[in-house]
Amino acid sequence: MTTRQRNKSSSGAAGGQGGAEHGSSPKAVAGGRKRLQFDVLEAEHPQGLTVQQVIDAVTADGEKLTEAAFRKYVQLGLLPQSTRVARRGRNRGSQGLYPVTIVRQIHRLREWMASGLTMDEILRDFLFLRGDIESLRRQLGRIEETARNATDDRAADLELHRALKRSTELGQELIAVLEEMETRLTIRARMDRAAI
């Protein structure tokens, strides 16, 4: 998470309705706690999550999610597809890993559905960029991993290390800008929907 995102996140959680003089609302506090849980989960599993890990993370707070429902959301395009990743060790095969942000996306998806939106409306009005952003995030991650694996730890590769670090930062910044743009478009779609 970039400094700008942290500042935006903390100002958004603290600044809500009611202002600082009355403190944060219970909903804002719960939302902040949920975001922190997502941040911790994403830091612990940067490579992604298996189906079972996704279900365990969602149901840990008492929410319900079956594997069949999860797979249906993926099939309909409401959630991103998994990427096949080789398991370490000889003849271990591969496993499907979902983007680490998928638990956050499930939470957002359920909020939209609870507000009365249909799956078609969610796809049309809110998720038109999400799949592409997640695909870009995975591609940038694969490029970074490949470059990191190809880089020696010798001092001669200092410039290469700097370039890799800079490209990683630029990739994270690009994703943050795209997500901010998606959020603004989502807010606009909600406002348009409320005006009807």
pLDDT digits (tens, 9 = 90+) for 185-195: 877 776 776 77
The pairs formed by 108-117 with CB atoms below 8 angstroms and a separation of 24 or more are 109/73, 109/78, 109/79, 110/63
Residue range 3-20: mean pLDDT, rounded? 40
- Would you say residue 58 lies in a domain? yes
pLDDT of residue 46: 81
Mean pLDDT on 109-133: 80
Cα–Cα distance between 69 and 27 in angstroms, integer? 27
Same domain flag for 133 and 95? no
Question: What's the domain count of the chain?
Answer: 2
Final residue before a domain boundary, out of 63, 82, 101: 101
Answer with the residue of higher pLDDT: 49 or 61. 49
In a domain, 55, yes or no: yes
Establish if 67 belongs to a structural domain.
yes
- What's residue 26's pLDDT? 58
Q: Is the pLDDT of residue 67 over 70?
A: yes
Give the Å distances, CA to CA, from 104 to 17, 19, 99, 145.
23, 26, 10, 24
Which residues, listed in sequence order, are joined to residue 96 by a DSSP beta bridge? 84
Q: Which domain holds residue 65?
A: 22-101
Evaluate whether residue 4 is within a structural domain: no
pLDDT band at 167; cut points 50, 70, 90: very high
pLDDT in tens, 132-155: 787 788 788 888 888 887 776 655
Q: Is residue 108 part of a domain?
A: no
Distance CA 101, CA 81 (A): 12
88 domain-assigned? yes
Domain identity same for 28 and 86 = yes
Residue 10 included in any domain: no
Do 81 and 147 fall within a single domain?
no
Contact in structure between 169 and 159 (CB atoms under 8 Å): no
For the stretch 97-114, pLDDT in tens is: 888 888 888 988 888 888
Is pTM beyond 0.75? Reply is: no
Q: Would residue 119 count as lying in a domain?
A: no
